[in-house]
Structure 1
């Protein structure tokens, strides 16, 4: 059965169908473009891994591009390059996505290639060994970039040795220890039809996409199979696992993240929290940017961020500055958060933050990739599609009292500090 989920001037025509086997297909028609973006989403990420197979989801994301039962890696790459398209993938804490951006006329090719990757990958031992080196190089690249390393360090400091605390990439030890049986077993246990969602946006027709997907997935749509249970029901710490985390590096800048636990993705207060985040550190007019960069010139970059997971979340403030300025920067961050927790935001700040969020959301949906991504995340994370106008209305409904309450709760929680820079553990006590 096909459902019409949205049809208005803000969003395109959004339709949803569940095919045999539980595969869900969502499309958004954008008549004014000549391209299409297709995504195949799998409801599995690093949060579902045990320590012994940490990094398996991301490793598998790499490995599927190495070849299938009918195509080699070069053939896959050549087919996409020949039409000027882009094909890639990414792994997150709670999902994996394979996507292709092509001319609308080349959508059949995109469906065929991506479906082949996720249903017929060979995952040979030889390919695993060659790709193991690539993944280890990606970990090394992350380690060489302090601004990236501090984010993984923050998750570890906040959530400890839990699935949310571990890096999507895994560790050198876990990647070196993965066998073909580990990775291929992960593939066969997790990539079942009920765990998959196909999304397409652009100059697409829903029935055409259904026909292409049905042909590409073939008999697999009727194969019996349930994905292995997810591990998202495990308890999540309500306070930081540690107060500080440190990676000692001889860097010119100190990179730091100060933060706390946040709101789960189904918490209705997330709209008020988004307004708080935007006003505190979400743009050039935000309190932290104005106070720390514009007025005092202490940093080049400072800003806040929210993340939402199933039953958990984070709020954090990032800054990068010279070592001698760190104590003052941290003091100003804490004073800024304490001030909002105690007094809330002014009506002007609330209005400006709402406008910023609404404008950035709508402007961010101008391309087919962002529309495709919104469909996939809506289905996997929320189990429903909210029309753009509904999200805008929920942001409009946020008032000063809601902002004050959510800020007082968030900024009243225990915090932790993650630091990458030329420090020793004893230095963190003073910070």
Structure 2
């Protein structure tokens, strides 16, 4: 029984047409190692993907994942904060981390010869952070400054305001960074408890891409983690976050933040599909047609033909059990009503009459090009591995992705446009809008 528990399980997932061979090993205890060997590269990107993000926090611990992301680089039993950064930088590498709503990622990019160092440093950071009380206080101040800086960037803040309007008190509606109140009140004991409870082997995927050998990577990981809680036992990997019941969202919401800004920042949008919905490829095509580039309808109507905004685009965000579609525009405050009217008219036109065959072809071409061009560096390829394993429980090859896009039909895109763009829209606006009436923009049904 003990012998079986110590045995790793390795499978070959794909031989990618872009010269990448993907292999996956599940180590004893449930930690997964997935690599893509790309012999033509001279670098390697490696990421430790933890399936825990801001949506997994209680209201009082809002911001704990992001706080922890900062703290893990502050020191381990073997390394100080300076050691962690200087060891990677001494070989010309880079290391960083980011927190999202459903996961956190710690990553490094180094020359292939320095991969053993990167693995050792990141394994040490993930498994053995000391979370010193003094470091908690230092980083508390840093994060409070980060929140203040974010509040001074209305172009970023408006997206958070929109998400909050759409999801309300649900965890998806909360800020990844937390608030000044939750960060100020959070204790070292609470953060440590979150760390030890959540950062377990079954929740972690180690993804690497570049000039590497899979067996060597697995051996290095096992050596680095041999005396830690992340290796050993008979636990199995946590499956991808279940789709479950769709998050209850609110329709026709209005969030106006009055600020004396030179430019108004507007986000208009609605709920959309989750990331497991097979129609997500058709949605990607529709998004490109509406606001995905300079040839898109919204860019042409708002900027090129009327010169009302410098920046205007649409975007989609998908979670396991929810999604959103939104349009952003930044314009002079006095032009906000006109910009919103044009955006609404264009969305209504596409909802009623769909898109053309030429737009379908262009939207599909943009989607396919984005997939392939995004794989020209090891960091993007590593992210594809980590997200595929952690979020979807599968890794589609490039050929499979392109085939899914090619299979999208005009009728499918038009059907999604009718369904999605006919929904009640919510609006977030930041600017000098005291007493401004936006009631004609939003509706609840």
TM range (shorter): over 0.9
Residue in 1 aligned with 2:272?
A: 262
Cα deviation 1:221-259 (Å, max 9, x = unaligned) = 11577999989857512443x611122110000001001
**Do the aligned partners of residues 353 and 235 (structure 1) sit closer, same or farther apart at CA in structure 2, a change above 3 Å counting?**
closer
Unmatched 5+ stretches in structure 1? none
In the alignment, the residues of structure 2 paired with residue 340 and residue 304 of structure 1 have an alpha-carbon distance, to the nearest angstrom, of 14
> How is 1:51-90 mapped onto 2 (pairs within 5 angstroms)?
51-90=59-98
> How is 1:17-416 mapped onto 2 (pairs within 5 angstroms)?
17-219=25-227, 220=229, 221-223=231-233, 236-240=247-251, 243-416=253-426
In the alignment, the residues of structure 2 paired with residue 63 and residue 233 of structure 1 have an alpha-carbon distance, to the nearest angstrom, of 32
In the alignment, the residues of structure 1 paired with residue 155 and residue 305 of structure 2 have an alpha-carbon distance, to the nearest angstrom, of 23
Contact (CA 8 Å) 2:34, 2:206: kept in 1 or not?
yes
- Structure 2 SS opposite 1:3: strand
Question: Is it true that 1:421 corresponds to 2:428 in the alignment?
Answer: no
Contact (CA 8 Å) 2:243, 2:276: kept in 1 or not?
no
Cα deviation 1:21-65 (Å, max 9, x = unaligned) = 001111011111110000001000001111100000000000000
Runs (4+) of structure 1 exceeding 6 A deviation are 224-232
Question: Is it true that 1:10 corresponds to 2:18 in the alignment?
Answer: yes
- Structure 2 SS opposite 1:391: helix
Cα deviation 1:377-420 (Å, max 9, x = unaligned) = 01111000110110100000001000011111111111100011
- Kindly state the Cα deviation for residue 202 of structure 1 after the two structures are TM-superposed: 0.6
In the alignment, the residues of structure 1 paired with residue 16 and residue 214 of structure 2 have an alpha-carbon distance, to the nearest angstrom, of 16
**Do the aligned partners of residues 11 and 140 (structure 1) sit closer, same or farther apart at CA in structure 2, a change above 3 Å counting?**
farther
Cα deviation 1:105-159 (Å, max 9, x = unaligned) = 0000000000111100011111100000011111111100011100111110110
- Structure 2 SS opposite 1:427: coil
**Do the aligned partners of residues 354 and 144 (structure 1) sit closer, same or farther apart at CA in structure 2, a change above 3 Å counting?**
same
TM-score, structure 1 length as denominator?
A: 0.97
- Structure 1 SS opposite 2:33: strand
- Structure 1 SS opposite 2:438: helix
For the aligned residue pairs, the C-alpha RMSD in angstroms reads: 1.7
Residue in 1 aligned with 2:4?
A: none
TM-score, structure 2 length as denominator?
A: 0.94
In the alignment, the residues of structure 2 paired with residue 115 and residue 19 of structure 1 have an alpha-carbon distance, to the nearest angstrom, of 14
Unmatched 5+ stretches in structure 2? 1-8
Contact (CA 8 Å) 2:17, 2:398: kept in 1 or not?
no
Cα deviation 1:46-91 (Å, max 9, x = unaligned) = 0111110000000000000000111110111111111110000000
**Do the aligned partners of residues 423 and 228 (structure 1) sit closer, same or farther apart at CA in structure 2, a change above 3 Å counting?**
farther
Contact (CA 8 Å) 1:271, 1:394: kept in 2 or not?
yes
Cα deviation 1:153-184 (Å, max 9, x = unaligned) = 11101100110000101100010010011111
Contact (CA 8 Å) 2:265, 2:329: kept in 1 or not?
yes
- Kindly state the Cα deviation for residue 337 of structure 1 after the two structures are TM-superposed: 0.8
**Do the aligned partners of residues 244 and 341 (structure 1) sit closer, same or farther apart at CA in structure 2, a change above 3 Å counting?**
same
**Do the aligned partners of residues 418 and 321 (structure 1) sit closer, same or farther apart at CA in structure 2, a change above 3 Å counting?**
same
